[in-house]
Amino acid sequence: MTWVLDLDGVVWLADRGIPGSAEAVARLRSRGERVAVVTNNSSMTVAQYLAKLKSLGVPTDADDLVTSAQVAATLVASRERVMVCAGPGVAEAVSARGAEVVEPLTADRSPTTPQPVDVVIVGWTRAFNYDLLTAAMLAVRRGARLIGTNDDATYPTPDGVLPGGGSLVVAVAYASGVEATVAGKPHQPMVAAVRERVGPVDVMVGDRPSTDGLLARRLGARFALVLSGVTRAEDLPVEPSPDVVAEDLAALVPS
């Protein structure tokens, strides 16, 4: 069997591993089952994700990691000029695609200075501010395509939810008067990427029905909902209806 795990809210909350998750992954792998991870969080590079997974006791091969940054980059053609309003994970993926990363803001450039840009990619970043919004909006209004790495309104942390990448995408889209093409779960670019990279999926584990649940349905997989992230017991029932609900990954995969 092949299991696909979301990360935020399933394996970790921010920099804190969710208790029992590493052991649950180890149990699955000891049974000969494949475990891949798929995340809508585009902020980190592949090496950073692999290092974080290893540090939390979930060593993972690069082939078993799919990020929304990687998927967003598949929507870009080589040699296109891409304004990256996101973390280093997106810049890395765009460069690997053979496209040119355009810095939206530099010390000698104001946000209103015109730049020839083919694509604007927006993802989660703490650097998002009014100047970045202005630069992205103007580039889109001048004809650049707008791509969002994901449309998650929030993401979970140990102290509760914070604004997610989707909140930033909506700000740029609203200011620009366009609708963004979204790469991440549960949208078709991510569906295609998981099918290509991972192959048939038996179980999709996630904490957000609107992304993980719909991705499971579109992959023809069972949806296992864990209550360690954005969805709580008081939110039930949810749509799409999960095939199984567990408190966390450890409870889903008991000893």
> Is residue 112 predicted with pLDDT exceeding 80?
no
> Is residue 59 predicted with pLDDT exceeding 90?
yes
CB 191 within 8 Å of CB 219: yes
Catalytic residue among 6, 151, 152, 248, which? 6
pLDDT digits (tens, 9 = 90+) for 161-179: 999 999 999 999 999 999 9
CB 149 within 8 Å of CB 90: yes
pLDDT of residue 139: 95
Residues contacting residue 106 through CB under 8 Å, at least 6 positions apart:
none
- Reported as half-sphere exposure (CB side, CA atoms, 13 A), residue 27 has a value of 12
CA distance 214 to 226: 15
Structure tokens at 47: 């090496």
Structure tokens at 164: 């997610």
Mean pLDDT score across all residues of the chain: 96
Q: What percentage of the chain carries pLDDT values higher than 70?
A: 99
Q: What percentage of the chain carries pLDDT values higher than 90?
A: 94
Q: Which of 72-76, 104-108, 202-206, 229-233 has the lowest mean pLDDT?
A: 104-108
- Catalytic, 6? Answer yes
Among the listed residues 190, 149, 181, 179, the one whose alpha carbon sits nearest the alpha carbon of residue 166: 149
* Domain boundaries defined on the chain: 2-67+186-252, 70-182
Q: Do domains 2-67+186-252 and 70-182 have the same CATH topology?
A: yes
CB 70 within 8 Å of CB 92: no
> Is residue 157 predicted with pLDDT exceeding 80?
yes
> Is residue 113 predicted with pLDDT exceeding 90?
no
H-only helix segments in the chain: 21-30, 46-55, 68-73, 88-96, 130-141, 165-176, 188-197, 214-219, 249-252
> Is residue 62 predicted with pLDDT exceeding 90?
yes
> Is residue 110 predicted with pLDDT exceeding 90?
no
Mean pLDDT of 81-87: 97
Among the listed residues 250, 179, 182, the one whose alpha carbon sits nearest the alpha carbon of residue 214: 182
pLDDT of residue 109: 73
pLDDT digits (tens, 9 = 90+) for 185-244: 999 999 999 999 999 999 999 999 999 999 999 999 999 999 999 999 999 999 999 999
pLDDT of residue 107: 63
> Which CATH superfamily does the domain covering 70-182 fall into?
HAD superfamily/HAD-like (3.40.50.1000)
May I ask the CATH class of domain 2-67+186-252? alpha beta
CB 85 within 8 Å of CB 168: yes
Question: Residue written as tokens 């993802």?
Answer: 123
pLDDT of residue 111: 80
3-state class of 23 per DSSP? helix
Catalytic residue among 8, 118, 151, 248, which? 8
pLDDT of residue 99: 98
Amino acid occupying residue 79: R
pLDDT of residue 115: 80
Bond before 156 cis per omega within 30 degrees: no
- Catalytic, 8? Answer yes
Q: What is the dihedral of CA 244, 245, 250, 252, to 10 degrees?
A: -10
Binned at pLDDT 50, 70 and 90, residue 103 comes out as confident
3-state helix, strand, coil in the chain (%, to 5): 35, 25, 40
HEC profile for 158-180? CCEEEECHHHHHHHHHHHHCCCC
pLDDT of residue 47: 98
